[in-house]
Structure 1
Amino acid sequence: MIDLGELLIDTMTLYQFTNNWFDVLAKGVWDQLMTHYSPARILEIGSYEGASACYLIDTLAPRHPIELHCIDSWEGGIEHQAGGVAPADMHTVESRFHHNVALAAGKHAGRAQLVVHKGYSDDCLARLLADGKKGYFDFVYVDGSHQAADVLADAVLGFKLLKVGGIIAFDDYLWAEQLPSGKDPLRCPKPAIDAFVNLNFRKLEVLSAPLYQLYVRKLSD
């Protein structure tokens, strides 16, 4: 017979993820990236259920204390709305995020300082710059809005917050909505990421990585 009390406790000790996007698309590269660079100050733009945040805490906190800033509005993008390509109940997504990161941080008590910024990324990033965080972060992960204009803003502001020698990673480089009218270049990240890289080619180095993500090392301000 299953003890319902034990089942509840066991459920509460497990991460609550509804997809394996991070494991499939990023984890293999990040296993090598984090071993080599081992960042201590990390900025994540777009957290969803917290899969990447939990990975960062579980991977890095045993090595050294980390400071992890997570930015998300938990309103979802166009693709998460009713009728979109990936509809989601964002209130539930946000609840899962808090459950997951609390569980991760609890496993490494005192070694993971987590700062959650709930709001639109441009506002939150501008506030971090105003608070003196220019060149502060070792690693910036851009995985927020997929709208080209938003991705470009995240890239520009995130790059200013990144220290020289740090890494900025772009998720969903080749992602695009399958719309009835075809692909819309304004509703996918690639044109914005390409524009950012091309405009800053003297200040960065593109690292070798699978094309679904793009990794860039900052060479200068």
Structure 2
Amino acid sequence: MDDEALVRVGFELMLGSVPDIEVVASVDGTHAVDALRRTRPDLVLLDVRMPGRNGLEVLDELMGFDIPPVVAILTTFDSDEYIARALQDGASGFLVKDTDPERLPVLLRALAAGGIVLSPQVSRTLLGRISRRGSEDAVRRISGLTPREVEVLALLNTGASNHEIGDLLHLSRATVKDHVGAILRKLDVASRLEAALVADRAGLALDESVSSRRERPQRSGR
């Protein structure tokens, strides 16, 4: 969704041509929540600035759905001040509007699978501007996790999806989902992205054995 109809149409045409992606709505901020309540998409792209209602207001309402969709924020460099609020409100990714069209479907698939996606420009801004708790506090919070939860958190910090984490740690998706929920609760954060930032602040790294498996090529058929 975007404040300019031409940009919305461009995204719709670009994504609608991808075989495994279906665009179910392309509307402005005023009609967004009604359209999304009706169509119940798995993934939503929200612009920060939209006529009628801005993307942050829409995001806040979407997070109140019984089953909230995955939400990625489309942003520009002059909207950096909104990133912190979107992060706290549950956004799973931040993409700049000039993202390479060939890369966009790949990024959206990663988001839909439970991963975290940050455009490089946004990640630099995010890490540089968001006020985060100190590293000592981050380490303290992580110390309250179980060893398995620490492994899952380390993989979250790489952007791995629940499916990838389950494969790497030999866990079912349901078990991974339970671990992720426990991690968010114990770290007192609202999203996987916030949890990953805590891990980054604490200097959490993958165990070497897990890291080597993460670097192996994926099996065909996924």
Same fold, TM exceeding 0.5? no
- More relative contact order, 1 or 2 (CA 8 Å, 6+ apart): 1
Q: Return the TM-score normalized by structure 2.
A: 0.35
Q: Return the TM-score normalized by structure 1.
A: 0.35
- Name the structure with the higher strand share: 1
